[in-house]
Structure 1
Amino acid sequence: MSEITPELVRHLGVLARIQLDDEEVQRLTGQLDVIVDNIAKVSQVATPEVAATSHPIAMSNVFRADDETERLSPEQVLQNAPDAADGRFRVTAILGEEQ
């Protein structure tokens, strides 16, 4: 027996605030039913003996170590800024109002 019914799809559409016509409800009912069946199949083979996997191959960090180096002073940072004030970059407001 199918777990996904047209009534459930309509209800989910209301919850998601998506207006669905009858054709979309019928199509989504079939598609969601297939998805639920496939998840059920995976759940049947997911036993404690099968290790959970987030990626099919081993992953490793490819980034360099985050080593602390010499820092720029605030004056050095702002020396080429088009506009600065009070030790900060000054930029044009993009929202049309000051914040």
Structure 2
Amino acid sequence: MSQHLEHLEGSGESSLLASSLPGFPPFISPELIRSDIQDAKFENGATQVIVSLHKWPETAIRGTANRSLCSTCEISKDDAVFIIGSIWHGGGENKTDPSERRV
């Protein structure tokens, strides 16, 4: 099951959690990431993904995510990106002024 949790970039903890349960086949439904209100950028918490993780051996995707492998899905307002649901992904930290925060 994919996780969608807030995390702080550079923190010691990861919210990019395993996307399937041990003993079960990977959950590979597509995930849609949309930006309806404003551009999704690193600064305002755009989704973080580990690209090509679905091609890794299962033994390589246990434990905590290595943040140096994360990429930011920056998209413009009203755009969208699809990812495979089995790729580790999570929301980034919103580092903008409070008046710029999305509701």
- TM-based fold match above 0.5: no
TM-score, normalised with respect to structure 2: 0.20
TM-score, normalised with respect to structure 1: 0.20
Structure showing the higher strand proportion among its residues: 2
**Taking CA–CA contacts closer than 8 Å with sequence separation of 6 or more, which of the two structures ends up with the larger relative contact order?**
2
Structure showing the higher helix proportion among its residues: 1
